[in-house]
Structure 1
């Protein structure tokens, strides 16, 4: 039942076809409801049952998005948007809402023109056809060519062209061309002076090419050009292209009435062009987001699982500033019962840093098994990465520690990594200082090793500056001191608890420095 007590309204065919197109092409679950004066649902008008009757009334589905449809005339409606996986995308929902409202408003405008200008039936039919085309064809290039053919037929033009502004290349691109010689459209894929002037000034023009000696024009008023514009609410109109028509086939020239009709068509095309651009950007961002989530999943798979490492009690965590990052750690079961522990921090973060991180892990897995000497491993790793680091202008701070629990010794080589510590069971601590600059700055003669004693119960603590910077204040060194104080307080706890405490502190902090990737590793034998 409708709000007034009568039969519910029926959506126009182009609106239903638009909704059908979104359902099939974007895999959306769409419903349209008529709302009463109190805002409650009184009837579902899309989709309808096979006999044409509306479906039953129900509440919103979980995880669906609701959008209000407020046509210029008629009751307020509600658009319910969901997807097959139950997750609706805000940007796609806004686009669908805008398109449906546009087609609804357009249909009402067509009805008005039909009543007021019945003698211009052919022109009104063209507007209707264009709205149908724009609503049913999601591939815009196909729609623009079809529209241009119909415009030329109705307005009696021999040839036509439709130019669209390419933002990336900052030029007008020929999107559609019809008429004789359209295989080589209008003799050129570069717009002429009139087309450029119409685009730059945003004003329609009848004639002008004949005055310029253009062979395409049959006279001063036998060509017409109008800007394709897109108007947002409370925002100045944007010019997104130009429609050109050439050689009037009728005896009478193009008129102001023709210009108004072509301008109305151009407005429809402009809205479709802009909305198509927005939806493509939205879908591209969604695809990128999914790809980055996959990359994050794969990156985490590259890291050694601390829970599966049996030679020591170890816990570690990586928290990237973006979906992927450049921090990493690695654990090695070395010959003779030795333990290899590596932590690295690629300069910058995001996808480029993640690629360098993956290369480091891959190369380190090979070189760590070839040599028991940490300095030699870092030397080989630097040789393998030097080309990529030079090309990307990145660097890597990296510390590699080899623990021999049987001999009670630790050997390490540190390429500029600032946060590497050993805590004794009695609470004493010592820094595993840098032996060389970070990879990317170290020379061919770099990479030395250092050693110290190790006893069961000692704890190795490695972390990156993203963690300490998160906990820092303006006082120099405050971030690292905060981390070390926390480790000392929790030293009797197991490594997993210590790592949890550090990341809980970071989660509750207000960073003084820009957020970076955060990594911490705690190991005890």
Structure 2
């Protein structure tokens, strides 16, 4: 016990006042002593009596026990007035009660002070989590405040990653400790154990393998360790663990307490809600970004196709609707020498970005070879050579129809690599299928592609091309009946403008969710 503590704590103002009142009223020479060491006491009262080193041998000495085990000595010096002994015993009892009250006041003052710091910490954390700070910066700021209030030497906040399922360090304060990811299934990791069990844990560094977990946490042998799960309870659904907060070592020594655990659990609950809100916000921003990118990709892909406003809508119309933002269907139109007109349709065996890549390469190759060679079969041969490696790598295939209409010669020459939906409708609406002459590109590429020449009556014949995404999704009993529905619709409307016919095909009733279907494409040409 130090002299400073003796004067500050062992002689409260209330005790000093009572001693002074008793001494005055009963004319007593009172002294109060505290044990300084085994051989000599420390004089507490009266405070303005220098030179007092020991009690008088003929004094009355009364013990005043305190809650902390200290025993003070009340000395009543002689000569004693009448009834002094009785007054001294009353005083002794009064002092004992006063010291009890003083201890209670000191305890509650400490508790209020502690609770104030904790409440202030929780309020500060709420403000930090509600700010516009990045989550990593907010986590470090929170962890710093927690370590300051709770007297921790080191702190670490681990969060489970949705990508690899491991615990990653979001923030740390203090020296040492592991920085890399921790597997949730790690058998000796305290952090992993607390995450899996979803329960807080208080232990000492000397209970762990110092070469393993103590080093991982940055703990010394006698350090106390407090590990608390970060949990989130959604409005509906089960509570789940999203991370762990570790506090390692107390700056002033000692163990973390149940009160510390309760406070850190309350903080972890706030952090858990903030982490979930942050994740939802990140997901929302990512979806918004992906939406913008998908929209941009869709617009770019549509710009690769020939613009229909460059053609007479009465005679020529074409339209593509990908099942996703981008797809593998395409069409191409060519104004060729001698008044001839080239028409192409292609269908890649998938949809989405992989198919869109093949689609873009196909359009580029078609533009090159259609301008270099006249025969449709040679155009397909050139395209097959250009696309072979990409089709093999992606394990995709491509159905492709390319026809060249020659109104002056009254004929059409076409090549067909596995495309099933190609028809010519005459003036009476009779449909003639233009069958495939070769397999789809990417399945069994022939050494040479073949072509067929058929009559073409300009102004009366109509060329109809479409992909299976248009017919297969119609609300009918079979794919074949879907194809017949498309052809009969065109036959019924064959005198209408080409653009109206294409629009009518896309307005046909479809089966199920349109977003789950295939890309849809239709081309109608009357020249």
The answer, yes or no, to whether TM exceeds 0.5 is yes
Deviation of 1:470 after TM superposition, in Å, equals 2.2
Map of 1:113-192 to 2, 5 A cutoff? 119-181=114-176, 185-186=177-178, 190=182
Cα distance, 1:475 vs. partner?
3.8
Change (3 A) 1:524 1:160: same
Partner of 2:382: 380
Shift in Å, 1:442: 2.8
Query: 3-state DSSP class of the match of 2:156?
Result: strand
The answer on whether the counterparts of 1:210 and 1:217 sit within 8 Å (CA) in structure 2 is no
* Structure 2 gaps, min length 5: 1-110
Matching of residues 286-305 of structure 1 within 5 Å: 286-305=288-307
Alignment of 1:406-425 (within 5 A): 406-425=408-427
User: C-alpha displacement at 1:352, in angstroms?
Assistant: 1.8
Is 1:486–2:489 an aligned residue pair?
yes
- Return the offset for 1:446: 4.2
Q: CA deviation at 1:188?
A: 6.3
**Distance in 2, Cα, partners of 1:453 & 1:311:** 24
Is contact 1:469-1:511 (8 Å) kept? Answer: no
Work out which of the residue numbers 459, 463, 467 in structure 2 matches 1:464: 467
Whole-Å separation in 1 of the counterparts to 2:493 and 2:168: 65
Matches within 5 A, 1:116-515: 119-181=114-176, 185-186=177-178, 190=182, 193-214=189-210, 215=214, 216-218=218-220, 222-309=224-311, 313-457=315-459, 458-471=461-474, 473-475=476-478, 477-505=480-508, 508-510=509-511, 515=517
Rounded Cα–Cα distance in structure 2 between residues aligned with 1:378 and 1:148: 66
8 Å CA contact 2:200–2:227 kept in 1: the answer is yes
Q: How many residues align?
A: 405
Inter-partner Cα distance in structure 2 for 1:283 and 1:475: 42
- Indicate the residue corresponding to 1:66 in structure 2: none
Q: Is the 8 A contact 2:168 2:180 kept in 1?
A: no
Q: Do the aligned partners of 2:169 and 2:180 also contact (CA within 8 Å) in 1?
A: no
Where in structure 1 are there 5+ consecutive unaligned residues? 1-115
How far apart, CA to CA, are the structure 1 residues paired with 2:422 and 2:479? 18
Change (3 A) 1:488 1:320: same
Structure-2 residue corresponding to 1:25: none
Secondary structure at 1:384's aligned position in 2?
A: helix
Q: Could you tell me whether the CA contact under 8 Å between 1:474 and 1:512 is conserved in 2?
A: no
SS of structure 1 residue aligned to 2:205: coil
Alignment partners' CA distance in 2, 1:235 and 1:472: 38
Superposed CA offset, 1:249-291 (max 9, x none): 1244210000010111111111111111111111111111111
Q: Residues 260 and 485 (structure 1 numbering): CA distance in 2 closer, same or farther, change over 3 Å?
A: same
Q: Secondary structure at the match of 2:396?
A: coil
Secondary structure of the 1:136 match is coil
Q: What is the root-mean-square deviation in Å for CA atoms of aligned residues?
A: 2.2
Distance in 1 between the 2:506 and 2:219 partners? 72
TM-score by length of 1: 0.73
